[in-house]
Amino acid sequence: MPVDETLTVTQFKTLWQTNPEQFQTLWFNPIDYYLYYLRGFGGIENQQLTLGRVNFERDFPPTFILDFRLASRPYALSNIFAGAGRKQFAVVSGQTNSNSQWDLRHCWVALESSSAAAIVMADLVQTVNDPATGNPPIITQPVDRNDPSATGLNAMCLPTTAATEFSTLSHTEWNLGITGAASTTNPPPPLTWVDLVSLTASLWDPYGKRIRMTRANTTQSEGIAVMIDVNAATTIKAYVIMIITQQVNP
């Protein structure tokens, strides 16, 4: 059915709350699953009617993907550890006084290699004090191409100055020897990805689907980082992918 306008659920709720008198009638079409309406503008003598519908195609907030990897080949994030210690491989944080709340839906980590025998930990941590520069900064890509770009958010790999760790939310461990040369097996084995959110999300969400990453309108930057922790000198190569969602003025 041709219409004059199509509203999202959020747009419809806003109009219904602010100008309910505009909606003359509403009906639901079970064939195409749209809510249709007639909306009137102007006075009684010059009223104009608009036929519209509400798009229920998506019932989740704007969603973004952050693919933490280098800008050129080989893409794996690489860091040299002179001895036992920990370093940030990926960090994302909200800017101060932003009107957006950000939730972390997934955080996948894959370890590609270790140049020496070591126990390697990947920690998912809350952070404060947003780092200024990274190698490289990461562009936050909307999953739905119709969504606007993310604002009020900073993301980067291998930050020059690490964000301050606040608390550890979850972790995973690899107990490795030297990982050696590339596999000659056909088909080659893929990397094994671990979702650190699934291990701890129930702390925030009873359904275990998200972690509160940043609050809206805070006076300090808040965020999430993946720390790699090793017990011996080694070079670690790894990847991180995060899925985050945005709520404006929650």
Return the HEC string of 90-152. EEEEECCCCCEEEEEEEEEEEEEEECCCEEEEEEEEEEECCCCCCCCECCCEECCCCCCCCCC
Question: Rounded to two decimals, what is the model's pTM?
Answer: 0.73
Check if the beta carbon of residue 167 is closer than 8 Å to that of residue 224.
Answer: no
Please give the backbone phi and psi of residue 159, each rounded to the nearest 5 degrees, phi first.
-60, 140
**pLDDT at position 185, please?**
82
Check if the beta carbon of residue 122 is closer than 8 Å to that of residue 250.
Answer: no
Please, which residues have CB within 8 angstroms of residue 234's CB and are 6 or more apart in sequence? 81, 114, 115, 116, 117, 118, 120
For the chain, residues with pLDDT lower than 50 are none
Q: How far apart are CA 156 and CA 174, in angstroms?
A: 24
Check if the beta carbon of residue 77 is closer than 8 Å to that of residue 157.
Answer: yes
Burial class (CB in 10 A: 0-12, 13-18, 19+), 175: exposed
**pLDDT at position 221, please?**
79
**pLDDT at position 57, please?**
62
**pLDDT at position 120, please?**
97
**pLDDT at position 208, please?**
54
Check if the beta carbon of residue 96 is closer than 8 Å to that of residue 204.
Answer: no
**pLDDT at position 19, please?**
87
**pLDDT at position 33, please?**
73
3-state secondary structure of 21: helix
